[in-house]
Amino acid sequence: MRKVRRKTGGISFLTAMICIVCVVVGILCITKYANINRQKERLKAENSSLVAQSEALSDKLQQIRAQEEFGKDDSYVESVARTQLDMVYPGEVIFRVSGDKYGN
């Protein structure tokens, strides 16, 4: 005599496996999406930082070029020679005054 299987109202093994696979794939997709969003925000912040750094370097380059042009002028060279190197023209006399006005 053969036993007859009766369905007890449960789900089949195949249906359970399909559900599990769908849940796992869903979790993987959500995780990947979250990682992509974090990376996107990090890259935006890095881009903003690099743009600010680029602007600062452009300003510095502009200042250096302006100083370079100013350095080619003879009056600038003379000014540096007089103030920083204490140089004078032949025949000039420098008087240095130190102390306060009343000699204390």
- Say whether pTM exceeds 0.85: no
Count: domains in the chain:
1
Query: What's the CA gap between 5 and 53, in Å, rounded?
Result: 75
Q: Would residue 93 count as lying in a domain? A: no
Return the pLDDT at 34: 97
Q: Would residue 51 count as lying in a domain? A: yes
Q: Would residue 41 count as lying in a domain? A: yes
Q: Would residue 21 count as lying in a domain? A: yes
**Backbone phi and psi for residue 16, each to the nearest 5 degrees, phi listed first:** -65, -45
Query: What's the CA gap between 23 and 19, in Å, rounded?
Result: 6
Q: Would residue 96 count as lying in a domain? A: no
Domain that holds residue 27: 14-83
Counting other chains too, the contacts that 74-79 makes at CB distance below 8 Å and 24 or more residues apart are: none
Q: Would residue 92 count as lying in a domain? A: no
Query: What's the CA gap between 13 and 19, in Å, rounded?
Result: 10
| Residue given tokens 């420098």 in the structure block | 94
Q: Would residue 3 count as lying in a domain? A: no
Ordered mean pLDDT values, 10 residues apiece, the chain (104 residues): 63 91 97 97 97 96 85 78 85 77 60
